[in-house]
Amino acid sequence: MNIEDVIKACGPLPQAPQSGPGSNKKNNLVYIGAILLVGGIGYVIYREWKRKKDLDKK
């Protein structure tokens, strides 16, 4: 059974809708930027918490 027989039996595969050029890349950059921002804020809070905890030990 080859691919032509499968296409005849099942019909063509549905195609995914094409988005505008560059719109998906912009959305990805927004998501990546938001993740980095949240991660950076979390790191700063953790660093300050750890510094305060270390100062309290002394």
Which amino acid, residue 45? I
Q: Is the pLDDT of residue 7 over 90?
A: no
Q: What is the pLDDT of residue 13?
A: 72
C-alpha torsion sign, points 26, 27, 30, 35: negative
What confidence tens digit (pLDDT) does each residue in 11-35 have? 777 776 666 566 667 788 889 999 9
Q: What are phi and psi of 2, to 5 degrees?
A: -105, 180
Structure-token pair, residue 9:
């039996």
- Maximum CA pair distance of the chain? 78
